[in-house]
Amino acid sequence: MGPSRTTADAADLAAWVDRVWQQEILPELVEYIRIPAKSPLFDPDWRRHGHLDRAFEQVAAWCRGRRIEGLRVELLRSEERTPLLLAEVPAAGDPDTGSTVLLYGHLDKQPEMTGWREDLGPWSPKIEDDRLYGRGGADDGYAVFASLAAIEALQAQGAPHPRCVVLIEGCEESGSVDLPAYIDELADRIGPVGLVICLDSFAGDYERLWNSTSLRGMVAGDLRVEILEEGVHSGDASGIVASTFRILRRLLDRVEDSRTGEVLLESCRVEIPSERIEQARAAAAVLGQRLVESFPFVAGSRPVSEDPVELLLGRTWRPALAVTGADGLPALADAGNVLRPTTAVKLSLRLPPTADWRRATAELAETLLREPPYGARVDFRPEKGANGWAAPPLADWLAAGLEEASRRHFGNPPVALGQGGSIPFMGMLGERYPEAQFLITGVLGPKANAHGPNEFLHIPCARKLTCCVAEVLTRAAAAC
Integer-rounded Cα Rg, in Å, for the chain is 24
> Mind giving me the DSSP string for 246-305?
HHHHHHHHHHB-TTT--B--GGG--PPPHHHHHHHHHHHHHHTTHHHHTS-PPTT---S-
* Same domain, yes or no: 125 and 106: yes
Q: Which of 275, 322, 319, 323 is nearest to 420 (CA)?
A: 319
* Spatial contact of 129 and 66, defined as CB atoms under 8 Å apart: no
- d(C-alpha 149, C-alpha 145), whole Å: 6
- Full-model pTM: 0.86
φ/ψ of 296, rounded to 5, equals -80, 65
* Same domain, yes or no: 194 and 241: no
* Same domain, yes or no: 186 and 163: yes
* Same domain, yes or no: 447 and 320: no
Q: Does residue 233 lie within any of the structural domains?
A: yes
Range of the domain at 462: 10-215+388-479
Q: Does residue 296 lie within any of the structural domains?
A: no
Considering 346, 363, 386, which residue would you say is the last residue of a domain? 386
* Same domain, yes or no: 325 and 193: no
Q: Does residue 91 lie within any of the structural domains?
A: yes
Q: Which of 78, 11, 83, 91 is nearest to 54 (CA)?
A: 83
Other CB atoms within a 10 A radius of the CB of residue 440 amount to: 24
Considering 351, 368, 386, which residue would you say is the last residue of a domain? 386
Which are the contacts of 197, defined by CB distance < 8 A and separation ≥ 6? 101, 102, 103, 104, 147, 439, 441, 469, 472
Q: Does residue 353 lie within any of the structural domains?
A: yes
Q: Does residue 106 lie within any of the structural domains?
A: yes
- d(C-alpha 188, C-alpha 377), whole Å: 50
* Same domain, yes or no: 350 and 261: yes
* Same domain, yes or no: 441 and 367: no
CATH code of the domain covering residue 327:
3.30.70.360
Q: Does residue 285 lie within any of the structural domains?
A: no
Q: Does residue 286 lie within any of the structural domains?
A: no
For the chain, report the end-to-end CA distance as a whole number of angstroms. 24
CATH code of the domain covering residue 65:
3.40.630.10
Element containing residue 366 per DSSP (H, E): helix 357-369
* Same domain, yes or no: 155 and 245: no
Considering 347, 362, 386, which residue would you say is the last residue of a domain? 386
- Successive 10-residue mean pLDDT values, the chain, 480 residues: 59 97 98 98 97 98 98 95 98 80 98 97 98 98 98 96 97 92 95 96 95 95 98 96 98 97 97 96 94 91 96 97 97 95 98 97 98 98 92 95 98 95 84 93 95 97 98 90
* Spatial contact of 389 and 427, defined as CB atoms under 8 Å apart: yes
Count the domains in the chain.
2
* Same domain, yes or no: 264 and 145: no
* Same domain, yes or no: 189 and 229: no
* Same domain, yes or no: 115 and 162: yes
| Surface-to-core class of residue 303, CB atoms within 10 Å of its CB (0-12 exposed, 13-18 middle, 19+ buried) | middle
* Same domain, yes or no: 319 and 465: no
Q: Does residue 89 lie within any of the structural domains?
A: yes
Q: Which of 178, 177, 175, 326 is nearest to 252 (CA)?
A: 326
